[in-house]
Structure 1
């Protein structure tokens, strides 16, 4: 069904990652009307790219015709890899669901350069919500003691290294189905039953086949990612999940709540470039707005729209952390006799185990910041890339193969079987088979700052202040390589002292007051009730372990707080309201410098200064619209007026009042107010009225189709109009052809959409009858 350009929801959730998916489910389950706006595509099992041609398009940049899964960023001090798709980061994460250690919820922890890392929540606060998230995501530990999992070489090597170094080793909970149900018998490729809320993809899923492809998207559906769990449950509860909907602007809505503007992407197979700035913008209003577009996405939106939110904390953009992420490589492992040791990095899920190095907060001694080291597996094709990376070995083997073949040709050798020569060409595979990635994460220093630089997101963060942390982590990783009789390699980025994070955090951190954070302990933005940040951006410092579970638990806690403390009227009325919208086009002329609409039209026509508007008028609740004396609806659309600015000038905010009574009981007015931006980003307001009253003659059509317009400087409210500078004035009208088209644009939704249209029609015709009944009876008011 075609949706109105502006509509209303109880809750709009921007993004569908760990914070957004939990919020969508909790609010929908409570009976609220929830709309989720996700910029990326859905990815059912079997749809994740693997072939080179598809992988080359598996990146996110709509302006270049790319609508893929991965969104990669390069900042001055680090890089970042995040996701774009229904399910957010859960589509590409490595499934680890660890709780933040209790003593890592630090209080008043000093930071270099001033300030403190302070967590206003505790482990005890989050434990019930950790429990709730785990019940939904159903984690299982890697079944190392059972065949065929008991010979997983990388997991055994991690356990051995931890034991020899005296470090804690564990098999962390993973959001992966090794058995069809937790506690069941594990085996690869078994069918996974659907939960009672079903699965939004409607495709079968099977248990993990141990192919190391978690970070590329699981084509078996073995990952209990958010699309298979929270989002499927949210949709079952009535949430409206909209993919390829990218949010561009946020602002408080007149009368309360928030307005969200977004564009809808339409991917093309030809990778054609798109001027995304010209995509039509749509608007939805809501009582509560949840920002969960990820650390980078949410912070960017708030920075971009900062002018719309007066009093926003000066901490916006602060407390950025990469969660201590560091990737290194163990190479050429050997056994006790010096022979090749297989680490089999491509077998199993990406991560199966974790080694923990304690924090000073754990012991109360020293100043070491704690961390984890986890095995970082990879898909089999990465092993081929690794083998080909050994260029000298490849050239040597290729040279031998060519020489053998030339010798065979010259000697007319009768030996036609060449299997041994081909095996020698391929090599023994020891380079890749004896290697394993090590992924470290922990409590780095959250002193990064996110800001806009010429309209683009930038992050000012370096490894310098966190260098003692990284030095300790690299030393432990070297020790692990040493006890495995293996080589050790840093990431090539480390040469420039840069890292790449897959867990960016901060930017809109929690705090006890606006001087300390952007949001409170429940993620609500200080000074802006009903606006929430419920993703990695709200985290006030590194989680230290894989942060997904903590982000989800914070979101669950916030939603529970809202639902328990807020009035439940919205829930009681959710799903019982009906809405209506229609589109209206008017055209005419204006004259700059004129303050009188009739004079402005005459001069504007003579000087060829056209003005046109294309508006979608939406009554999100028809019952309220009809009952309210102001009969106010929201307006979205655009203004075109070459003398004020080229192209379509988007209406950032608008209102429409139908048949407002004045002092004269025989007159009604239809009122329009449109905020838009002209040349040089100058804010302008179009105010207009239709004067509906009974004059001699048949003037009903003229009254209801003629809009007297003034353009004012600034984004004004009615009380400001008298003092505002008049930029231009004129008249625009609905032409008969446009009116006939308008009749086809009425759209309704809700349980009684048809009834809403009838009530709207009765109001419209009833007001016309009150204004023109003397015309029908032949009488005249003296």
Structure 2
């Protein structure tokens, strides 16, 4: 029997990360993927090719779409090297910090066995590898994307928050370069597993969900899998794992078959491989099905197997005849990547206005080449009737065929109808009360939309409001009349839990009672992620890999190479209630002087006001321009946490520069890690020479690890524009690190050591709103005056010109 140190099953967001981490640390790794590789240029495009693009080996189909149909939902998952990244819409959103909970029947909440703080550094590692970047809507020709502007305007009119989320798409040929259409992409240092293929930047064709033939999509084959192969991982495609079992003396035996395109399943011989560590990452359905079928060989596995299944609250609807921002022409949803924008609906857990369960609504798209509707319709009605009759008959079977790949392949035939004007994709915190079971050795799901009715109705009503704003006709997906949903994000089935009674695996993905057996995909989720799950799955796999490597090193009695994390992982669930781990928000570790806030105001009879702000981003040493430093190849992370204090609120509001003091710390490796701010100033809405422009200015004195004086000088540019600019303008800080302690008047002559851009994350901003404090007489009134001043300045800049 062949033996290997680590075997990874599946090449999606969990498996690719694990394969890379383990191979990079020097372990012998075999990754088995049932599907085929899809280099740029090989994805199907013609109707005939699309008709064969489904996965059902029994029917001789080896394509990438694997379609499932269950009692309450239909699902589309992927089969191919790169897993779901081949067909997902590129969105890299973190799970909000306060959403790491599940509802309990009594109306309360129970925490997940893992917290946001546990994942934060792993989120950062994955984001860096996948090179997430927002859609460059402020630059030509990307600014001519009507659906993106329409989503921003609809959100503003409805009082909702819209963002341009990070997308795993190459708009520029390399980090730090200007974006452009169809430019050659510079190859990474680890090469590309597909060979010297020419990848080109995004040409805005809307083909993300059917495979990017330009290679502009940063799918996992172009990064994690290529890097894993570079470090020695053996990537085996057309290898489908069928069963697993513990091996006497430790480790596992894995049965698999090797597909040969054109052969039938019955002709294939079952083979076996042994491994010391086994990582299951075959997706929610694949991993759960494999564990259920192997349950007899896994005595004592948790009874939670198959539980906590959900569809991440997915809901697909359509806006028909939607207009652009001026309501002049119909939107062209094929222009741009599939998703450009995300509107977030607030959650009751966020602590602000609004309530219910949080959700996201994103614009959809479809390929510009969709012209199948002009093809001959000969036989289309006949095929459609045959498909419908077949599905009705399946409903009366005890064990219906839940895989629809073959049927959909026949339905499409040589042509299909185009999509609608503007698809809307909703997702959020539905109820994870579904169960996955085996029925006649087939996977079956027991799940309903009824327990998540409020979530789905909230999504539908909001989408109907967006339709009203855009002058569109709203249409549910055709399945909704039976209260069925279509999900691209099935989750659960082998959930993590604090104990074997609560979950199949622990907070690091290791299966209870089976050392060395790990789950690294959506099956491990104990509930819905809320936003698109891909980034969270990859971050959990990165964290799991760190723990696996630590345990392997301890077992071998020596150290091991690490990836992005050094030292011990924090214990799951030990983060403080407000999500700040390790130190007090105002303790001495933060570089602030404990006990001094508000004291001057109290002694003088004045009223002081303070709040805490945290910002994170990237800088590059040697760069002099912030935008260049944010994206340059040699960039590094920088963050700060400051307490801003106006010792006299009345004086602060009255004087033109609105100056307050800033205390706290700066953290950047190039500066020696976390360094205390020795002296700092903050200016809120300082004049900038024009009636419709203001500056938020930061000037922080500190010393680096060598004792050299340094100044962080930063500005937020608050410039007249549409209301949709308020958030990006007020949450983006352009920074330069200067040599010496430099006064503002001497900036022009100062030597720039580094430059970059910092941002306020939404979760950090939500926490910031809870940190406002006053001291002295008239505190509440002072807080109200400050709020009125802030809102008034925003109106001055962003309000309409009434002259």
Provide TM-score, normalisation by structure 1.
0.64
- CA distances 1:393-427 after superposition (whole Å, capped 9, x unpaired): xxxxxxxxxxxxxxxxxxxxxxxxxxxxxxxxxxx
Equivalent pairs counted in the alignment come to 521
Match of 2:128 among 119, 132, 135: 135
Equivalent position of 1:200 in the other structure: 193
User: In structure 1, how many angstroms separate the alpha carbons of the residues matched to 2:286 and 2:21?
Assistant: 22
1:121, 1:521 within 8 Å by CA — same for their partners in 2?
yes
C-alpha separation between the residues in 1 aligned to 2:213 and 2:83?
16
TM-superposed CA distance for 1:30, in Å, is 0.7
Q: 2:140 aligns with which of 119, 134, 147?
A: 147
Find the counterpart in structure 1 of residue 212 from structure 2: 218
In the alignment, the residues of structure 2 paired with residue 542 and residue 69 of structure 1 have an alpha-carbon distance, to the nearest angstrom, of 25
Cα deviation, residue 521, structure 1: 0.2
Q: State whether structure 2 residue 286 is matched by structure 1 residue 297.
A: yes
Q: 1:562/1:432 Cα in 2 relative to 1: closer, same or farther (>3 Å)? A: closer
CA contact (8 A) 2:146 2:324 kept: no
Q: Secondary structure at the match of 1:466?
A: helix
For the residues of structure 2 that align with 1:243 and 1:434, how far apart are their CA atoms? 36
- Which residue in the other structure is 1:607 paired with? none
CA distance in 1, matches of 2:164, 2:375: 29
Question: Helix, strand or coil for the counterpart of 2:85?
Answer: helix
CA distance in 1, matches of 2:464, 2:5: 53
Change (3 A) 1:467 1:286: same
Asked whether 1:167 is paired with 2:156, we answer: no
Match of 1:454 in 2: 440
Structure 2 counterpart of 1:66: 61
Q: Indicate yes or no: 2:310 matched with 1:321.
A: yes
Paired residue for 1:375?
Answer: 363
Residues 36-47 of structure 1 mapped to structure 2, 5 A cutoff: 36-47=31-42
Cα 1:250–1:63 shift into 2, 3 Å: same
Separation (CA, whole Å) in 2 of partners of 1:335 and 1:379: 19
> Who is 2:546 aligned against?
560
Task: Give the whole-Å Cα distance in 2 for the aligned partners of 1:382 and 1:116.
Answer: 46
Offset at residue 382 of structure 1 (A): 3.5
How far, CA to CA, are the matches of 1:306 and 1:56 in structure 2?
35
CA contact (8 A) 2:302 2:504 kept: yes
Cα drift, residue 375 of structure 1: 0.4
1:11 pairs with 2:11: no
Equivalent of 1:311, from 284, 300, 315? 300
CA contact (8 A) 1:32 1:570 kept: no
Once residues 225 and 419 of structure 2 are traced to their aligned partners in structure 1, the CA distance between those partners, rounded to angstroms, is 38
> Would you say the 8 A contact 1:342–1:433 is kept in 2?
no
Deviation at 1:183, TM superposition (A): 3.4
Q: Is 1:94 paired with 2:80?
A: no
Question: Matched residues in 2 for 1:490 and 1:255: separation?
Answer: 55
Change (3 A) 1:239 1:335: closer
Q: Which runs of 5+ in 2 are unaligned?
A: 378-416, 561-803
User: In 2 relative to 1, CA 151–531 (structure 1 residues): closer, same or farther, beyond 3 Å?
Assistant: same
> In structure 2, which of residues 247, 252, 271 is the aligned counterpart of residue 258 of structure 1?
252
For the pair 1:126 / 2:119, whether they are aligned, the reply is: yes
2:213 equivalent to 1:229? no
Does the CA-based 8 Å contact 2:505-2:512 persist in structure 1? yes
Q: How far apart, in 2, do the equivalents of 1:179 and 1:571 lie?
A: 45
String of CA shifts for 1:294-322, please: whole Å, max 9, x gaps: 00000000000001111100000000010
Contact 1:333 1:340 in 2 (8 A): no
Deviations 1:621-678 (A, max 9, x none): xxxxxxxxxxxxxxxxxxxxxxxxxxxxxxxxxxxxxxxxxxxxxxxxxxxxxxxxxx
Is structure 2 residue 231 aligned with structure 1 residue 244? no
Structure 1 position 363, deviation (Å): 1.9
Q: Counterparts in 2 of 1:274-289, with a 5 A limit?
A: 274=264, 276-289=265-278
Q: How much has 1:366 moved relative to structure 2?
A: 7.3
Say whether the 8 Å CA contact 2:146–2:325 is kept in structure 1: no
Root mean square deviation, CA, Å: 2.3
Task: Indicate if the aligned counterparts of 1:245 and 1:264 stay in contact, CA closer than 8 A.
Answer: yes
Aligned to 2:98: 103
**What SS does structure 1 have at the residue aligned with 2:518?**
strand
| Cα distance in 2 between the residues matched to 1:478 and 1:388 | 34
**Cα gap change, 1:335 to 1:532, in 2 (>3 Å):** closer
The structural deviation recorded for 1:221 is 0.3
The alpha carbon displacement at 1:364 in A equals 6.7
User: How many Å apart are 1:341 and its aligned residue?
Assistant: 2.4
- Partner in structure 2 of residue 426 of structure 1: none
